[in-house]
Chains A and B, each alone.
Chain A
Amino acid sequence: MKQAAAIFFSTIALLTALSCRPQKVRMPEPPQDRHVPFNYVATKGMVVAAHPLAAEAGLDMLKGGGNAVDAAIATAFALNAAEPFASGLGGSGFMVIYLAKAKKVTVVNFREKAPAAARPTMFTEKGEKQAEWRQERGTAVGVPGMLAGWNYALKKYGTKSLAEASARAVEIAEKGFPVSATFSQINKDEYEKLLKNAGEDTCYLNSGIPYEPGEVFKNPDLAATLRLIGAKGIDEFYKGEIAKKIVAAVRAKDGIMTLEDLAAYRPVEVEPIKGTYKGHTIYTLPPPGTGGFHIIQLLNVAENWPLKDWGHNTPATIHHLSETMRFIFADKDHYDGDPDYVSIPVAELISKDYAKEIRSKISAEKTAGTYPYGRFDKVQDEKENTTHIGVIDKDGNIVALTQSINDFFGTGIVPEGTGFLLNDHMADFSTDPNSPNAPRPNRRPVSNMGPLIMFKDGKPFLVLGSPGGTRIFSSLSQIIFNIIDFGMSLDEAIEAPRFFSYTTEGKARPISIEPRIPEAVLKALEKLGHKITPKEPYDKYFGGAQGIMILPDKKLIYGGADSRRDGVGAGY
């Protein structure tokens, strides 16, 4: 009721403001309690991101005449300064772009590649120390694609230079900002890795210990690096002095990356994959991004179920969707890989016929008990990392950008004097040397990301994405169900309690669940054969989604940002 009132009054306030003073729109203030659903409202353009300073950077770019791509890259640069633990120059990502004039959706893939010296057994031969070599040593670092991807998108679809797009990030890194409770907690959780790899004197620690909420974090080295890139271009990063520092840092920690690996890196532009759900069309990533096609699979299976009649987060809804997630996991293990090298039957997997097949295996009365399973990975990650940006500009161009350095604070390795963290995305390769997703020269590891743009009647309706590892497809699907089937507003849909389940070796894992879902529902699920693992009420485990909803009839744009992290919207 409180949420509905907040949305109602915010809309009324905006409409009143529009009718009285069309040139000056006063946006309603977000509530003190971050968890209370709140839709940011705008009429021309909107940016949603995981840090207020980054969202502001994007908004200023829009107001300054930049288009959605310019604003997305300005936001992405700013996140490197303001949310450095989740993404940055040392990482990678995927960008779904909608070009309004051409009515075209395209995808830029700038996922890391494995160095040329990578081998399928490079981690398994480390035995019990495998996890350390996959996550915290130089071998964990994939060849970063972030800057090449941003640059590609700016040059082809943007209007601004790298220097212009990175200007606000330079300012944030230089002036600093008080860290949030989220930053502080993550800084504490990753302390040992930072101490080991970045050292006691790193800017990522405050006098050798983690930052407390409110303490000011500055990163002058990053500011200098961004200025250098702005002045000299991306060759400085891939072939120049920064490249030498990256390789030196990686190899000092037993890594295998070379200058040739960096110089050879290129992003690729690819066609999106397409799915439909109850009259809506979804465009998202093809492999090696897998979040997108698993979302389409989950929506396909659920499409013929009466979710609305079952009700939101009722035993029937949670049971059926959890079972579907478990069946989809079989495909995740079995087929995922780099499509440049591995044949993946995506069209078949996202077909309605295949969804029907999965649906036929799910009983309303009990859990299946055993599930088909992939041949490879036995353990799924619990990571909460990564970040997502959504942008729409005044001309209707849209960007959904998910980017990461993998684990929070990546490997913790900082090339000397550069201020940015190197990724540990080599950990996204399979632990099984026989898997199609095993590390091999120049291959891209599979990613769980799934930024998407959804259309209704041929017009953009929803822009969505989230971090959250293997939970990404499940969390984004639940947001879509919340909006389309349960009639929630955008941020209500984002803040609503989430759940997730999967399988290992054909056996069901418990349903991880935010305990805001009533006890009676959990008990009913247990009667159906599920085990339940309660998480925190608003748990980062389920991601930190950002969304934009476009309502052309009302000439309004809503922004929704997840309170599980520090997400905000900024519009005008």
Chain B
Amino acid sequence: MNMWRTLIANLIIFCGIAASSPAVQTAPPAFELPLLITSAGQSADVSIASMLAKKAELTATLSKLATGKDLENQKTLVLVLGASMKGLGSAGLDTDKEYERIRALLAEAKKKNIPVLCLHLGGEQRRGELTDKMIEEFLPSAKMALIVKSGNKDGLFTKICKEKNIPLVEIEKTLDTVEPLKSLFKK
């Protein structure tokens, strides 16, 4: 049963990449554990990502306000794209501070050669000016992007991923992310 699930998940990833960025590589990149999950924009989607990692049985640390120090002993950085004014307010951040934090974190990840997996789980409703600016700035740092399809109706993710040779996988529903996540990580 597990073998079938893995095969199906691999097929989803393969087809997703093939469909969305045919000019790019055809084999999905592999990521290693443990992984650090953080938010770009402080929406609750980061906690959903943490739950999905739990369901995928991945060893993950959730740190909504992660800094470079949190990358110690981590092998992958998962960046969950999605801005929320409510989330930023609760975290006591304004957008400028959030940008500064993410920029510094990505710089540190690059320095440590830690690959970045970008997730966008909120679909069409988690788009908008604030989130789009973050997508445009931070998605190019990703080694791969895994997104809920309805969030890419205008092709923003496809455009950036094609330009930057980033494999892009589109998932119909958030819960469908579990199997692809399992397959992407070497255990």
Question: Which A residues are closer than 8 A to B by beta carbons?
Answer: 181, 184-185, 188-192, 195, 200, 206-210, 212, 215, 382, 536
Contacts and interface: CB of A to CB of B under 8 A. Distances in A.
B21 to A, nearest CB: 24
7 contacts: A188-B45, A192-B44, A206-B175, A207-B175, A208-B51, A212-B174, A212-B175
Contacts of B174: 209-210, 212
A208 B55 contact: yes
A380 B86 CA distance: 14
Interface in B129-187: 173-175
Interface string B27-61: 00000000000000001110110011001000000
B68 interface: no
A212 B173 contact: yes
B175 A189 contact: no
Contacts of A192: 44, 47
Contacts of A190: 44
A212, A215, A382, most chain B CB atoms within 10 A: A212
Given A185-B125, A189-B86, A382-B86, A209 B44 contact: no
Contacts of A210: 48, 174
A522 to B, nearest CB: 16
Given A209-B52, A209-B175, A189 B47 contact: no
A191 B87 CA distance: 11
Nearest to A534: B129
Contact of B51 (A181, A209, A212): A209
B51 A200 contact: yes
B44 A189 contact: yes
B84 interface: yes
Contact of A188 (B52, B122, B173): B122
Nearest to B46: A192
Contacts of A200: 51
Nearest to A190: B44
A192 B51 CA distance: 10
A209 B51 CA distance: 7
A195 B174 CA distance: 16
A308 to B, nearest CB: 35
Contacts of B122: 188
B175 A195 contact: no
Give the 8 A-B residue pairs with the shortest CB-CB distance, closest first.
Answer: A191-B44, A185-B125, A192-B47, A212-B173, A192-B44, A209-B48, A208-B51, A209-B51
B120 interface: no
A191 B48 contact: yes
Given A191-B44, A207-B175, A212-B175, 13 more contacts: A181-B125, A188-B43, A188-B45, A189-B43, A192-B47, A206-B175, A209-B48, A209-B51, A209-B175, A210-B48, A210-B174, A212-B123, A382-B89
Nearest to B84: A189
Contacts, number: 43
A409 B52 CA distance: 22
B175 A188 contact: no
A189, A208, A209, A210, most chain B CB atoms within 10 A: A209
B69 to A, nearest CB: 23
A13 B47 CA distance: 50
Contacts of A215: 173
A188 B48 contact: yes
Given A209-B174, A212-B123, A188 B44 contact: yes
A195 B47 contact: yes
Contacts of A207: 55, 175
Nearest to B44: A191
A185 B48 CA distance: 13
Contacts of B47: 191-192, 195
A107 B21 CA distance: 62
Contacts of B173: 212, 215
B148 to A, nearest CB: 8
A195 B51 contact: yes
Contacts of A382: 86, 89
Interface in B46-83: 47-48, 51-52, 55
Interface string B82-96: 001010010000000
A200 B50 CA distance: 12
A181, A195, A200, A210, most chain B CB atoms within 10 A: A210
Contacts of A189: 43-44, 84, 86
B43 to A, nearest CB: 8
A295 B45 CA distance: 38
A160 B44 CA distance: 43
Nearest to A181: B125
A210 B44 CA distance: 10
B24 to A, nearest CB: 28
A382 B90 CA distance: 12
Contacts of B86: 189, 382
A200 B44 CA distance: 15
Nearest to A200: B51
A200 B54 CA distance: 12
B149 to A, nearest CB: 11
Nearest to B129: A534
B63 to A, nearest CB: 14
A381 B133 CA distance: 27
Nearest to A214: B173
Interface in B101-131: 122-123, 125-126, 128
Contacts of A181: 125
A200 B52 CA distance: 12
A208 B89 CA distance: 25
A558 B104 CA distance: 57
A382 B87 CA distance: 13
A263 to B, nearest CB: 36
A48 to B, nearest CB: 25
